[in-house]
Structure formats: structure tokens, C-alpha cells
Structure 1
């Protein structure tokens, strides 16, 4: 990615002045999260009333996700015009997704067996209120592999951009990009127009992100106000085990992968700190998807790889969700006094591998996927999900953070496999040497 500078006078453009700490987005989001936690804890009813702020921000982001994905993929594929390379990138991405998603499930299962967070609770499944999780079980029952595959195909080409389904947008974008590449020079004018629109849309994203602190404040205030920090105390061991397992996966497993690819996981996390705080505040990795696409391109990953890996990873590379599924399933079994044999645990893992794809893109996918898994493996009662319903909102934050980091790492790894990862640009972007994304576009405009 190169940068062009637009001069407004005869004098050379001066480098941007460094901003005060409180002017950075990550600092504003962090302050908003702290304020939201305090409001939700000390004034629960007022905190619950802040929910529309969080919902409104997430709707704003979802509004722009489809255009961002469409423009990124189409301009990337059409600009490259190497269809064999596109298939190769997709193949490598899915190989990565399958391996690390499975590894996340296995790690969750190993930690669950070693720590045994549910052991000793001795809860009778008959005493649990199954009606509390009935809606999740019903949604899980509706999710099937065939339904999932058919759901990738939109009713119309245009409806893919309005349905809210990332996979439908991905499907149409890839086909449109390939078609545009195949028409050759006749499509150059359309490609040029789409690239110009892309610049406008990413400016639109930067405007929306200015509202991130308000969205994070409203979402976290509602969570603390509605569920209360005290709900964590009853199942503190499970929550702590899940967070520590996710931390081990990110810093250990993904950290090793990052080191092998020549970059530091800590530098990547620092680079994405504003997005991670936003994900933490909203409990949704989708809230930072447009910004992730822009930042990964900026950090030296080619547009085609970013456009294919990031949106697809949001449905197929759910490391945090996979850790949660096996860990939560084992917790329920241990809490209700059910001894699972090795064969039953392997069956549980196998079902989770499939069901995690079938529930992709569904609101509350982590909890719904768990319900789908338990409904197929009768050894563990679905009613046992009532035990963790109260703390699921707090665990969803960790799921989203892990999923988000996992997809950022996947994008760099696939770019490195393709031999197109610009490590020097990554170092420059993560060290702050490149001009800021949210800088005045009249002074610095990214040329995609």
C-alpha cells in the first residue's frame, strides 16, 4: 500500500502532531468501558437503560459490513486477475481453519479434564429449569448442515447485501470479482469506479468508529446492570478456566505460529488494541470487522487475502467458540455427575466440529452451537445449559476476543504462505511509523 500526499500550499506538508493520550480511540473506548462498568454496578436500572446505545452502534457497523466485504473482495480479485491464485488462497485458508479450529476444541477438552471446573457440584439434572434454554435449543434444532449450505446462496444477488449474512456477501463478491476479472480490459472502468467507492466507504467506516466509545459504554453498562458482577462469583472457576485457556491458546499456540511467521503476537495485539477494546465492550467481534479488514491491508497483507480470509474466518475460524464448547460441555457433565468415556468425549468433539459451522452467523452462536452439540450427544443433558446461562454474556466477550485475534493471525499466516506478506510494512504499521488511518484524508490518502 502506498500513500500519496496532497499539498494545500507551496510549503511541504508537515507531519501530524502527536495527539494527547485521551484523543486516541483505544483510550476513549477504555474510558467508556470503565464508566459503563461503574454505572451498571452502582445504578443497575440506569445501566440496563443504556442498551439502545450499544445496539445502535452494532447496527451501524453491520450496516457497512456488506459494502466493505463486497468492495474489498471484488477489487482485490479483479485487480489480480489470477484465478488460480484465488483458489490457492481459499484452499490454504480452509486448511488453516480446519486445523486450528480442531486444535481449539482439543485444547478445551484437555483443560476441562485436567481442571474439572464442574466437579463436586453434584447437581440433579431433574431440578434444572430447561425452559430457560428452550429458545436456544429450538434455534439449534433449526440449524442443520444442509440448511447452512443452502443459506450461503442468497435469494437474489442484491439481497446478499441486505440479508446480514456474511457468507452470502462473500459468495456473491467472489463470483462478481471473478466475472469482472474474466471480462478483462472491458471491466477496467467498473473496477476504477469500485476502487473510488471503496475509498469513500472506508472513510465512512472511520466516521462510524468515532461512535465506538458510546457503543461500548452502552453495551457494557447493560451487561453489568442486567446480569451483575455478582453472577460471576457462583461459577468463578469455570469463567477463570475459560479465560486462562483462551489466554494460553492466544499467547501460546497463536504466539508460536506468529513467531514462526516472523512477527510478534504481542505487537499484533498492541496494533489492534482499539478494536479489541471495542470487541470487549460490545461482546461482538463483528463490531470491529470493517476496521480489521482495513488494518490488515495496512499491515502488509494483500487485499485479496484479507478479503477472503477475514470474512470467511468469521464463520469458520471460531477458536474462542470452539474452546468454549468443549469446556462448557465437560463442565455441565461434571456438574451433573455424568462420567463421559473417552469415546463419548471424542464423539462430542466430532459433533462440535460440525455444529460450529452449522450455527455460524447466528446471533448468540456460541450458546446455540453448544445446544446443538448437546442435543446430538445425549450423554450430557441440554437442560444443564441453564447452569451457565447467567454467565454466558461474560464468557461471550472472551469468545469474541479470541475469535478476533485468531482471524487476524490467520490473515497474516495465509499471506505469508502466499509469499505476499510485507513484513517491513507490518513493522512500520505496528510501530506507528505509517500515518494514522483516521488522519485527514486530504493530507494522506491510502491507495488501494
Structure 2
């Protein structure tokens, strides 16, 4: 008796995918830089006034959109981060230690920036001297600085984008909400929803960054030319060198000695947020991804929801 073998049905023929491959965001940014430089050179060398004006308008609109989102986003991010302390054990101790570390790392970064500036003197090629600058409109003491943090009304800090005053108001509102307890739940729910809405809107703006880059770089080259931009090459290099020292020098040292965490493990987990922040130039816009990788690295969600927004905005 012969065994009959049934033939397997033929697999359908694979159709070529018509989907356009997605271009990485960092490639879009670089393409924006190259295209902006090319258009700016054309506008300057050929004296194309309409192209220069168009590049300027594109860049201005992009910057205005960013500024539009910053003030309310800072306010609600700080407010929500402070109120999230209600979910954390030993909240006061953790909050004070977090702020202390923010101050320590900021001090280290400032010291590195000053040292690099003193060593390289990035303004030497510009031909500018301190006498070419304008005196500040106002001068004052540390007391004047501290009293200046307290706004005279609730509207002006948002219209003038005074971030310190916005942070102060958000901190006061967050502490008041903590004191109110359950009675503040409706306000907290609304604040969290508004924060998510603002983050989504800001992400849409960040997705326009390649176009904004075309306008900003193009107008700069069309208006100032390569000569002036070349004079600031040292300053640009200083910024990247300083960031590299902090990122690959200071952070690994603190991770290994204080946190007792492998720097390689940290960078492996944090790299998606670091990469997005680098190409988008927005710590606030990267905030949702930062929170995800922070939790993935083992930080409790309750604490991360306080530290990440506070750090990203301050």
C-alpha cells in the first residue's frame, strides 16, 4: 500500500513593499543643515532677497512655536512633578537630595565651561572687545536677584518668558496642591492631562526641526556670511567638547563612584533619550522618552515622575 503525500499549498508570492523607508531623525537634521547652508550661500552670493527673507521667516516661525510651548510646559511639568511626591516615601529627603545633586552637577558643568572658555578664548577671532557690549539695563545685589524671582503678577512671566518666575509659581502651586490633599485631585488630573497635551504638541513642533534648521542656518549664512560664522567655530567646538566631558567624563565617574552603577549599563539604557535630545536640542521635548528609559534603568516610577520633569525644565 503506497502512502499518498498531499502537496503543501504554495506560499503567496511576496510583493515588493511599497512603503517608503523611514529616514532617521538625525539624518533629517543633517540634511536640514546641508540644505540650509546651500540655500543661504545661494541667497548671499546671488543676492536673492526673497530667498533670504523666506529663510528668515521659516526660522522665526519655528522659534516662535518653540517659545509658545515652553512657558506653559515648564509650569505644568514642575507642578505635576512636585505633586507626584505624594506617591513617594521619604519625599522631603529625596526631593532635597535631588535638588542638591542638580546643583552639584550644574556647578561642575559651569566650572568646565568657564575653564574651556578661559583656555581657548573663543571670542578672540571676532574682533569684539568688552567695550563693544552694552551695559545691562539694571544692576543689583543677590537680594535683588532673589526678590526678582517673585513675580508681580501671574501673566507677565508667561508673556516675557521669565522661566525662574514660572518655576517659582509652579512650585508654590504644587506645594499648595500637596497640602490640599484629596481636594486637589481634580486640579492634578487636569494638570497631568494638560502636560501630556503640551508634550504631544511640542513633539509635533520638534518634528519640524529639520525645516526649522534649514531656515535658521540658511538665514544666518545669508545674513552674516561664512567669515563671521567661521570666527565662532571655536565657540561651537567648545560647546561640544564641554558636553562630551560632562557626558563621558563626569557622568561615568559619578555613576561608578557614587551610584555604584556600571556606566556601560547606564549608557545602554539611556542612549535613546540622549540621542533624541542631541538631535532635537530639547530636554523638555525628550521628557517622555527620558522618563521611560529612567524607569527601565530601575528608578521607581513614582520618583522618576518627580525627578525627570523637574530636571528637564530647571
Please identify the structure whose Cα radius of gyration is greater.
2
Which of 187, 192, 206 is matched with 2:189 structurally?
192
Which of 68, 79, 83 is matched with 1:63 structurally?
68
**Local SS of the residue matching 2:151:** coil
> Structure 1 residue 218: deviation in Å?
1.0
Partner of 1:166: 163
Say whether the 8 Å CA contact 1:72–1:303 is kept in structure 2: no
CA distance in 1, matches of 2:311, 2:52: 36
CA distance in 2, matches of 1:70, 1:238: 32
Which of 277, 280, 295 is matched with 2:279 structurally?
277
Partner of 1:256: 253
Are residue 221 (structure 1) and residue 215 (structure 2) matched? no
> Structure 1 residue 148: deviation in Å?
2.8
Q: 1:90 to 1:310 in 2, by over 3 A?
A: farther
Which of 198, 203, 216 is matched with 2:200 structurally?
203
> Structure 1 residue 146: deviation in Å?
3.3
CA distance in 1, matches of 2:52, 2:140: 31
Residues matched between the structures, number: 276
Partner of 2:152: 155
> Structure 1 residue 83: deviation in Å?
8.8
Partner of 1:309: 311
CA distance in 1, matches of 2:307, 2:220: 35
Are residue 37 (structure 1) and residue 37 (structure 2) matched? yes
Q: Which runs of 5+ in 2 are unaligned?
A: 1-18, 296-303
**Local SS of the residue matching 1:81:** helix
CA RMSD of aligned residues (A): 3.6
CA distance in 2, matches of 1:278, 1:242: 16
**Local SS of the residue matching 1:157:** coil
> Structure 1 residue 35: deviation in Å?
0.8
Please report the TM-score for the alignment, with normalisation by the length of structure 1. Answer: 0.52
Q: Which runs of 5+ in 1 are unaligned?
A: 1-17, 280-287, 313-448
CA distance in 2, matches of 1:128, 1:200: 44
Instruction: Within 5 Å, give how 1:12-411 maps onto structure 2.
Output: 20-22=21-23, 24-44=24-44, 48-49=52-53, 50-81=55-86, 85=90, 87-108=92-113, 117=120, 132-134=132-134, 137-138=135-136, 142=139, 145-231=142-228, 240=237, 243-258=240-255, 261-262=261-262, 263-265=265-267, 268-279=270-281, 288-300=282-294, 302-312=304-314
CA distance in 2, matches of 1:129, 1:110: 19
Say whether the 8 Å CA contact 1:81–1:182 is kept in structure 2: no
> Structure 1 residue 82: deviation in Å?
6.1
Partner of 2:9: none
Please report the TM-score for the alignment, with normalisation by the length of structure 2. Answer: 0.71
Please list the CA deviations of residues 386-429 of structure 1 after superposition, one character each: whole Å capped at 9, or x if unmatched: xxxxxxxxxxxxxxxxxxxxxxxxxxxxxxxxxxxxxxxxxxxx
Say whether the 8 Å CA contact 1:76–1:303 is kept in structure 2: yes
